[in-house]
Structure 1
Amino acid sequence: MTIQVWSKRLALVLAAASTLIGGSIAQAQSSDSQAIHGGDITVGIHNQVPWGYRNADGSVSGVGPDMIRAVLGQVGVKKINFVVVDFDALIPSLLSKRIDAVASGLAITPTRCKQVIFSNPDLAIGDALLVKKGNPLNIHSYADVAKNPAIRFGGGRGSSAVEHAIAAGIPKDRILLLKDVESSVGAILAGRIDADTESASTVISTLKDPNVGNRLERATPFTGLVKNGQQVANYAAIAFRTEDSKLRDLYNAGLAKMKDDGSIKKVFEKYGFGETEMAPTDVTAKAVCGADYR
């Protein structure tokens, strides 16, 4: 992909965008971005619900695709091409310019901050618990489990949720490690465990299955591992190449507008996310990336 300047048409659209999204993006009227050519952009997804996936009819759904459409659609990007890429190939595909952005639930991490640039986060994906309907043992935190040895607890082998549970004070020898979420669901239904820890997104997706949702529920409210006064979470965001910082800034302005007017909630609700999963406004990509923010 060779470097191209923005078309005259897109430049006019970007000029108008300062009115549509706000004066904060007025400086984005010209860009060194290679991402958009005449109003088109190519976005990578990894074909997983609820992040970014292709439906049976060929259409694309997911939190990431819907956010890209909602934000960039405001500034005249008419055509968004979605490409399915293996998860571990998303960043390499971005860096090699096969795609222009990643919109598939990619979490901001220190390692990734050294490779790409991120928009501000939209979702904060923390831990959640699966319990039997009615939450009979009244479990609402890792602390509840830690102080009650009668609670039988499980989680995915090697998962960050289990690591968080241990860090929060649940002894390792009280945690039944399971192969996958299907095994965890089976263990709860069979009475082998009373609660299973997973990421919030996994719990939400799992409960959409009526065979599970009719018998299990998410423990709410729930307090997971707390550090520095905040619950530990993965912050999902859109990733761009480092040279596309003006495009990233344009996206951030649109994201801020959606947060301000509340329209972002409609996107989240469509995929089962609520207030609990909304990233706090004071958590920015700069704050998460620290010295590696660009």
Structure 2
Amino acid sequence: MKITIAYIEEPPFGWTGRDQAAMGADIELADVVLRAIGVSTIHHHLTSFDELLPGIQEGRWDMNVPLFVTPERAQRVAFSVPVWSIGDGFLLHCGNPKVLTSYEAVAARSDARLGIIAGQVQFESAKSAGVLDRQIVLFKDQPDAISALRAGMIDAYASTAVGNRVLAESADNAALEAVAHNNGGDGRVPIGAFSFNKSNHDLIKAVNKRLIEYLGSADHRARMERYGLTHTEIDGAIISQSAKY
């Protein structure tokens, strides 16, 4: 059996290595699970974020790397059980000169500019907090957004707290730091899951069965730790999985 999984350039979840091979936390998790259900050939297809859902719907590939689950997205694709639970954060210049610690802090400063990948959930989160359209700069992918941040075109880049933390620790980003957001009083943190064409019932069932068995195991935790994902991100997904499945 051959499976094609689409991914985007978004370390530590997925990226293209120097040998042009796909790598990252989500890539490794997918590979482990797919091999366990008998997939003999795995093809990794690099795409852009805005093509992930259309690509699955149109049958251009079989599976997407995890992305945040929303009711709107669930109308278009079928999601697996949750695989991580991660809050938002900012990547910004060291010292955080404009004191941008939340979306509300951005909204309170008319001179603040926030970079977001087009179509990602951070856009709605920012808008809900009062950030104006003129304060938001949309980008096609993470590399473009980070280049703009380094160049001073934006003051902060909004993404996952984990991803930003790993990026800030990179030697290439010595002038940048990460700030995690407070997720609010309800304690809920967004969950991420693999996605599939809704008609691909056998693959969804097989992947879910193996994920339920594997998530939270010692092997899973050790693999994810190498990419900066901790017990917090893993256990949050398992709790959500227990409540729903």
Residue in structure 2 matched with residue 223 of structure 1 by the alignment? 182
Query: In the TM superposition, what is the alpha-carbon distance from 1:223 to its structure 2 partner?
Result: 0.5
Residue in structure 2 matched with residue 253 of structure 1 by the alignment? 209
What aligned pairs does 1:1-294 form with structure 2 within 5 A after superposition?
40-50=1-11, 51-103=13-65, 105-130=66-91, 145=105, 154-156=113-115, 160-161=121-122, 163-165=124-126, 167-168=128-129, 177=136, 180-187=145-152, 196=156, 198-200=158-160, 203-204=164-165, 206-212=167-173, 214-219=174-179, 222-224=181-183, 226=184, 229-231=186-188, 233=190, 235-278=191-234, 279-284=236-241
Match for 2:147: what amino acid? E
Match for 2:239: what amino acid? D
8 A Cα contact 1:108 1:285, kept in partner: no
Percentage of pairs with the same residue: 22
> How far apart, in 2, do the equivalents of 1:243 and 1:108 lie?
18
**Structure 1 portions without partners, runs of 5+:** 1-39, 288-292
Distance 1:118 1:176, change over 3 A: closer
Query: In the TM superposition, what is the alpha-carbon distance from 1:119 to its structure 2 partner?
Result: 0.6
Query: In the TM superposition, what is the alpha-carbon distance from 1:155 to its structure 2 partner?
Result: 1.8
> How far apart, in 2, do the equivalents of 1:283 and 1:231 lie?
10
Query: In the TM superposition, what is the alpha-carbon distance from 1:132 to its structure 2 partner?
Result: 5.5
Q: What RMSD, in angstroms, separates the aligned Cα atoms of the two structures?
A: 4.1
TM-score by length of 1: 0.60
8 A Cα contact 2:69 2:193, kept in partner: yes
> How far apart, in 1, do the equivalents of 2:70 and 2:188 lie?
16
8 A Cα contact 1:47 1:85, kept in partner: yes
Matched position secondary structure for 2:238: coil
Distance 1:77 1:171, change over 3 A: closer
TM-score by length of 2: 0.70
> How far apart, in 2, do the equivalents of 1:166 and 1:75 lie?
41
Matched position secondary structure for 2:193: strand
> How far apart, in 2, do the equivalents of 1:286 and 1:101 lie?
24
8 A Cα contact 1:116 1:239, kept in partner: yes
Distance 1:263 1:113, change over 3 A: same
Distance 1:186 1:57, change over 3 A: closer
Distance 1:76 1:89, change over 3 A: same
8 A Cα contact 1:41 1:100, kept in partner: no
8 A Cα contact 2:5 2:63, kept in partner: yes
Residue correspondences, number: 234
